[in-house]
Structure 1
Amino acid sequence: MKMVWAAAMAGVSMAALGAGAVQAQDATSAAAAQASDNEIVVTAQRRSEKLQNVPISINAFTGKQLQELRVTTAADVANISPGVFVTGSRGDQNPVFSIRGLSLNDTFSNNNPEVGIYVDDVIQPFTPMMSGQLFDLQRIEVLKGPQGTLYGRNTTAGAINFISVKPSQQTSGYVTGTWARFGRKELEGAFGGGVTDTLAVRFSGKTVQQSGGWQYNDLTGQTIGKVHDVSLRAQALWTPTSRLTVSLEGTYLYDKSQPQQRQHVGYYAADGSGAFCAAGLAGYRDPNTCVDLLGYHDTDPNQRHVSDGSIYGTWSVAHGAGVNLNIGYDLGAAKLTAISAYNYYNRSSPDDSDGSPYVELDGLFSDKIQSFTQELRLASNGSGPFTWVGGLYYSWDRIGGDTLQALDDFPFHTRVDTSYVQTTNSYAAFGQAGYAITPKLKLTGGLRFTRDEKRYTYDAVDLNPFGDSSLPPTAGFVQNHVNQSNLSGKVGLDYKLTDDAMVYASYSRGYKAGGFKAAIAFNPDETTPFRGETVDAYEAGVKTTWLDGKLTLNAAGYYNKWHNFQASVTIIENGVSVITLANAGDARTYGFEAEADYKPTRNLSLRVTGNWLSSKITKFNTQPGSDDFTGNQLANAPKLTLDGQARWETPIGNDHVGVYILGDASYRSKTYFSLAERGQNSQAGYWLLNGRIGVHDRNDKWEVAVFGKNILNKLYISQSYDNWGGAFPSSNYLGDPATYGVQVTFRY
């Protein structure tokens, strides 16, 4: 049965290569019934605009599209948006996004990412906060390039907006149940409507219960991948007058799950000589001839099997909550918006970092996060020649991390407790204005001032529980701080060639604050703060609509100069050589991106997107005796990404019922996961094929669908850690195998 299903869905998806889909018809929403993406309304520039009128690179997806493409986590966005790549620190624990080659090269939780992640206008400042489930979304917007002149928190690579469905006076809701491979059961739903003439509410939630998993531990004889997850959201919208809107949102999540465990990757010769193995030098993993420092190698030919023996168990437990108050007041000529939000997120997560039965480096990571943000924004109303938006922003966040590391079987024969507390105060003033010089030509300019103040307390203690530790002395108790101010901005021009064609060009500078290393340190100099990074981003593009709105063709070229980018490097501090997170040097990226949406008939929708990227480290801050990565390409930056969908629908039964077939495919070319460009820590180019077949009634009140993800069961590396030449082995994480299931939805 599995093979029949895979063959059927592979045929559907193969037909989708080089194609794509626009949003499906949805009788419950007038917006979703429109014919093409040029009618999607977005708020990327802090005002409602049609997607095709926004002079920046942006991809937008409706809630209906997200459901059909089975975008269930933030990381899934990378499979549908060109130039976007995502890796997950410690499996899927900390999703780290890369846009056009710019990403965070750090596995710990305390450093802010290059890509700003916003949920209902509120920044999620740390990567663990985006590891949960997505549900009840109105749309997702993916913005490429710096966005500092319009958004509260500054970023260098771009921003991704997750926008939930809002309360309304109309009573509505839905219930969706999903049954999938590995004992996975999902229940998602929402309901809401008017309570009074001025008050509307909406309640939504999702739970995921999974009794099995695709990864098998040879050591324990158990599968890994169980999930117990609950996420809830409650919203209230009060409109006492035509000018005043008050929106209050509360969220809660609880997640107890088994994250994926590491695949062991040795690089020393099995003969015990201490030399590097031939396979590792040639750039590939060979567990038969390559071992780690203790002589271990994982020879199980099934790569989805591991032999991990973490003494801290396999269960990760997280819980969090938040509240968001959004107040808007129409002043006539302008609208005033005030957004206040508080979030906390706590998690404890084990990790067998060596990926072996030995306790070489087993860890228990704990994160405690608090975040408060306050944004005050004033934006012009109307459609005159002069439009503007200005704002003030303040945020305070605190992250406390504690890492227990066990080296029981390693020659050090000890356990270590590493902890830190980092607090950040960020202040900003930002604004952007546009002026229509002529009815067709518009000039846009913006400025931003940012002030970041970070305080850091660090401690590392050798617990020496066995009384014979040979670990070098740790850094001990250290306090430090970094303060930095920055002025950045944007200037751009866009020109309307016709009502259906626009060209644009822009220059912008992005900035991301400095920070601190959170991993174990053996010298206080390793905790020296690194400074902020900047990127100078140039972009020129065209947006066009053809065939009475049936076809949209958009394209953009870009060039980024990345200054003082942050990465793990070997540096000299006060005459001491240390490995630390620091300003690694400079890099550049350039490329070309294109997107086409075509609806040749009422029944057929096609979409294809692509991004070609060239990245290069132009300057590396190397020290004598350490590696020099000048000339290498950036990590997590595949040269070519392709995404395509095809959706065909036909009515049956006197037009009372519709049947649709959806196929989607994505391609990522060879990807290096470290700056060293080591073949052993890379993934060759690969395709992922997915599909869906659904039946629904004319009014879209119910739907039954079957779906498949990675239906050809492609085995690929989703993340790799390069420890080449060190005391501990390297390791890999793998992408999910083939999954399939049934989904039933009722709407009202």
Structure 2
Amino acid sequence: MFAGQAHAQSAGDSAQTTAGSVAGDIVVTAQRREETVQDVPVSINAFSSEQLDELGVATVTDLASLAPGVSINSVQGGSNPIISIRGLSLNDTFGNNNPTVGVYLDEVIQPFTPMLSGQIFDVERVEVLKGPQGTLYGRNTTGGAINIISVKPSFETNGYVKASYARFDRAEIEGAVGGGISDTLAGRFSFKTTQQRGGWQTNALTGEKIGDVNESSFRGQLLWEPTSNFDATLKLGYTKTKRDNQLREHVGYYSPEGGYCASALAGIRDEANCVDFFGYQDLTGKRRTVENSSYFGNELNARNYLGQLTMNLDLGAVTLTSVTAYNDYRRVLGDDSDGGALIELDSQFTDDISSFTQELRATSNGDNVLDWVAGLYFSSDEISGSAVQALTDTFFHTIADTSYTQQTDAIAAFGQAGFEITPSLELIAGLRFTHEQKDFAYDAIDLDPYGDSGLPTLVAGIDNTLKEDNVSGKIGLNFDLTDDVMLYASVSKGFKSGGYKAAIAFSAAETDPFDGETVWAYEAGVKSTLLDGKMTLNLAGYYNDWQDFQAMVTEIRSGVNVIVLSNAGDARVYGVEGEWMYRPTDALSLRASANWMDSKITQFNNAEGGDDYTGNQLANAPKFTFTGQAKWELPVNLETMGVYVLGDASYKSKTYFSLAERDLSSQDGYWLVNGRIGLHDKGDVWEVAAFAKNILNKLYVSSSYDNWGGIFPSQNFLGDPATYGVEVSYKF
């Protein structure tokens, strides 16, 4: 039972908060209390609705270029985003495994990666927290948390409408309207639709432009406040998606004469001289043009229903909160999983997800010597998935159908307290108990449509159960050196439960469960507000001891070498990060943030005779990331209008996409540069803007599958090229 959800700000309050946000004044609820970013003694990056709009944040993937130490791999064009914070991630895209970084929509976790690809719209703010969050959040995570907070209903009539048109015939319209219905009832309705015809990628086999999008989202909310100390908010939402998946870029690594090709050994994609196991090579020449067999097509069809009821009761000394939520998500996804013209591994994935969560929370009210929060949490998730895979242009010459059902029940008790030792020194202590049970059923069949299948016998009829209990927690100290400078240090333990490999299996041992992973996270930092509030400077140093981390490895099970999702070993990550914001005048706002980290696998559980990755850098863990923005309100002579110019740049150093630390499945360091120019009235009621993303048209790999030495080729996914467009908006 935890602190009440923040009430919606009035339009005037929201504008005031946004205006001061560059100086770190955004009000967040990362610790289940309303605090400014500078008062929260943890590493957090927060972005207001205005900042998100100006920086073009439309999905979770877009956040990667804003927060230091955060990397998000846009797998299949964003259908299965892999989120990494400070080097911790799960490099697996099957739908049944929980992400290392928790994504919360209005305090409700989205438990599986397919659910992370939706649109972001009508949000009040986004918070990015680093490190374990188990003592304050219902679902435990090891890497961190991303909180997306929607605009809540208020009794003051307000809303907005926004429309944009961009390159590749991309049109977006979104809006919201809300206000009082009666003295005790208020509502808000929000929507967003995205339509695109074609895109930047071409399938050379069909001549088709890849990139069609037809996605619409709707959200309705009702706020009931019958008394001054009780409120209830009912939220209903629906999303319908039909869009093209990005096609994979084929990466061969064998020589036509046998063995590995020289270019691949040197870490260079060279389709002119390298082939895959079956002799295929993509000779289209242009990297944004590929050959794709599309046996099952390349579309994502998905729909999502959600319902949530949040209730707050203020009893004076304590506030009670209940958050009840249900999600029903289904998708069908066609994918050429080998990235070539041959039907080596063409797939159709189906995921059917239902998720129920119930959280009861309480928080002490007021500024006391002892402030505390405590909570109980229950969730019940079920995911049923299937993968129909065609291997017809191989010696297997068949189609295989695998399916699974995974039921997860989790309960937890958690809490955190802060004790004021002196007016300047506070002791923080938190504790959590977690129990999870996962029941897993797996089946498979060789459809053998041609009567001559060469596929080994598939595993079928698997039923297994994994039960895990864990105790984790946090202890820390916060010291107010002055009214404007805070020092903090903490030690916390995070836990993420184990699970199962859901991909095709030829041995029963491949479906054995893997155990949960833990991380001991050590952090010390300083938060400072300088120059009478015009500047903030925050610095943090951290060390993560990651134990039994989960990844794809080769192991010996039942005397056989098998590729499984398992506990790969141990790793450590240490680094420093900083964020600087400065508003020298009302017209100029500057922000820069950076993260440097060093990651290393300290122990790797390789099979006998297999590759040992001890000493390698972690996947999705670039050593250096940087992001910076500058916004300048240009002086104009007109009394009723203003013009601003916004520049946005980010840098990511070399990134490896697998534990093998192979150059062929990596991306060298690169910059992305974006910009925006806006014309608006003095009251910010209306705006007309022109924007551009990836202005330098950088061609880069956003994610990669490393299949080195196997039957199937490696594949890349590429980042978006330069895009530009115009946008108009009106607020009321």
Provide the TM-score with structure 1 as the length reference.
0.96
Decide which of 157, 161, 164 is 1:171's aligned counterpart: 157
Match of 1:152 in 2: 138
Contact 2:652 2:669 in 1 (8 A): yes
Within 1, Cα distance between the matches of 2:302 and 2:360?
A: 31
SS in 2 for 1:291: coil
Contact 1:26 1:33 in 2 (8 A): no
Contact 2:457 2:506 in 1 (8 A): yes
Query: Relative contact order (C-alpha < 8 Å, sep 6+): which is higher?
Result: 1
Match of 2:23 in 1: 37
In the TM superposition, residue 60 of structure 1 has moved relative to its aligned partner by 0.3
SS in 2 for 1:94: coil
Partner letter of residue 110 of structure 2?
Q
Decide which of 542, 545, 552 is 2:536's aligned counterpart: 552
Partner letter of residue 544 of structure 1?
S
1:517 and 1:425, CA in 2 relative to 1: closer, same or farther beyond 3 A?
same
Match of 1:707 in 2: 691
Does residue 1:202 correspond to 2:188, yes or no? yes
**Residues 652-677 of structure 1: CA deviation (Å, up to 9, x unaligned):** 34431010000000000000000000
Equivalent runs, 1:373-522 vs 2, <5 Å: 373-522=357-506
Partner letter of residue 707 of structure 1?
F
Within 2, Cα distance between the matches of 1:54 and 1:263?
A: 43
**Residues 196-246 of structure 1: CA deviation (Å, up to 9, x unaligned):** 011110000100000110001111011000000000100111110001010
In the TM superposition, residue 295 of structure 1 has moved relative to its aligned partner by 1.0
In the TM superposition, residue 745 of structure 1 has moved relative to its aligned partner by 0.1
Match of 1:264 in 2: 250
Identity of aligned residues (%): 59
Partner letter of residue 608 of structure 1?
A
**Residues 406-442 of structure 1: CA deviation (Å, up to 9, x unaligned):** 0010110000001000000000000000011000000
In the TM superposition, residue 28 of structure 1 has moved relative to its aligned partner by 6.2
Unpaired runs of at least 5, structure 2: 1-10
Within 2, Cα distance between the matches of 1:514 and 1:117?
A: 18
Within 2, Cα distance between the matches of 1:98 and 1:35?
A: 26
Equivalent runs, 1:649-668 vs 2, <5 Å: 649-668=633-652
In the TM superposition, residue 348 of structure 1 has moved relative to its aligned partner by 0.3
Within 2, Cα distance between the matches of 1:211 and 1:217?
A: 15
In the TM superposition, residue 270 of structure 1 has moved relative to its aligned partner by 2.2
Does residue 1:115 correspond to 2:106, yes or no? no
Contact 2:21 2:48 in 1 (8 A): no
In the TM superposition, residue 623 of structure 1 has moved relative to its aligned partner by 1.6
Match of 2:115 in 1: 129
SS in 1 for 2:24: helix
Contact 1:552 1:596 in 2 (8 A): yes
Match of 1:8 in 2: none
Equivalent runs, 1:523-602 vs 2, <5 Å: 523-602=507-586
**Residues 124-168 of structure 1: CA deviation (Å, up to 9, x unaligned):** 000111101110010000000000000000000100000000100
Does residue 1:363 correspond to 2:347, yes or no? yes
Within 2, Cα distance between the matches of 1:107 and 1:212?
A: 26
In the TM superposition, residue 89 of structure 1 has moved relative to its aligned partner by 3.2
Match of 2:671 in 1: 687
Contact 1:103 1:114 in 2 (8 A): yes
In the TM superposition, residue 314 of structure 1 has moved relative to its aligned partner by 1.9
Partner letter of residue 170 of structure 1?
E
Match of 1:233 in 2: 219
Partner letter of residue 115 of structure 1?
V
Within 2, Cα distance between the matches of 1:37 and 1:78?
A: 21
Match of 1:18 in 2: none
Unpaired runs of at least 5, structure 1: 1-24
Within 2, Cα distance between the matches of 1:533 and 1:119?
A: 24
Within 2, Cα distance between the matches of 1:622 and 1:119?
A: 38
Within 2, Cα distance between the matches of 1:262 and 1:37?
A: 42
In the TM superposition, residue 51 of structure 1 has moved relative to its aligned partner by 1.0
Match of 1:316 in 2: 300
Equivalent runs, 1:180-259 vs 2, <5 Å: 180-259=166-245
| RMSD (Å) for aligned C-alpha atoms | 1.0
Within 2, Cα distance between the matches of 1:289 and 1:651?
A: 57
Does residue 1:605 correspond to 2:575, yes or no? no
Within 1, Cα distance between the matches of 2:162 and 2:569?
A: 49
SS in 2 for 1:29: helix
Equivalent runs, 1:19-168 vs 2, <5 Å: 29-34=15-20, 36-168=22-154
Does residue 1:735 correspond to 2:719, yes or no? yes
Contact 2:231 2:313 in 1 (8 A): yes
Contact 2:338 2:346 in 1 (8 A): yes
Equivalent runs, 1:252-331 vs 2, <5 Å: 252-271=238-257, 273=258, 275-331=259-315
Contact 1:149 1:447 in 2 (8 A): yes
Within 2, Cα distance between the matches of 1:395 and 1:663?
A: 43
In the TM superposition, residue 29 of structure 1 has moved relative to its aligned partner by 2.3
1:35 and 1:103, CA in 2 relative to 1: closer, same or farther beyond 3 A?
closer
Within 2, Cα distance between the matches of 1:336 and 1:379?
A: 7
SS in 2 for 1:33: helix
SS in 1 for 2:329: strand
In the TM superposition, residue 602 of structure 1 has moved relative to its aligned partner by 1.0
SS in 2 for 1:525: helix
In the TM superposition, residue 651 of structure 1 has moved relative to its aligned partner by 4.5
SS in 2 for 1:240: strand
Within 1, Cα distance between the matches of 2:614 and 2:502?
A: 26
Contact 1:35 1:549 in 2 (8 A): no
SS in 2 for 1:72: coil
Match of 2:5 in 1: none
Within 2, Cα distance between the matches of 1:73 and 1:26?
A: 27
Partner letter of residue 119 of structure 1?
L
Within 2, Cα distance between the matches of 1:99 and 1:27?
A: 32
1:683 and 1:41, CA in 2 relative to 1: closer, same or farther beyond 3 A?
same
**Residues 85-137 of structure 1: CA deviation (Å, up to 9, x unaligned):** 01133331111110000001212010001101000010100011110111001
1:542 and 1:405, CA in 2 relative to 1: closer, same or farther beyond 3 A?
same
Within 2, Cα distance between the matches of 1:537 and 1:709?
A: 35
Within 2, Cα distance between the matches of 1:583 and 1:37?
A: 43
Match of 1:718 in 2: 702
Partner letter of residue 540 of structure 2?
A
1:27 and 1:560, CA in 2 relative to 1: closer, same or farther beyond 3 A?
closer
Within 2, Cα distance between the matches of 1:423 and 1:35?
A: 42
Within 2, Cα distance between the matches of 1:686 and 1:86?
A: 15
Provide the TM-score with structure 2 as the length reference.
0.98
Within 2, Cα distance between the matches of 1:590 and 1:231?
A: 40
1:26 and 1:294, CA in 2 relative to 1: closer, same or farther beyond 3 A?
farther
Partner letter of residue 41 of structure 1?
V
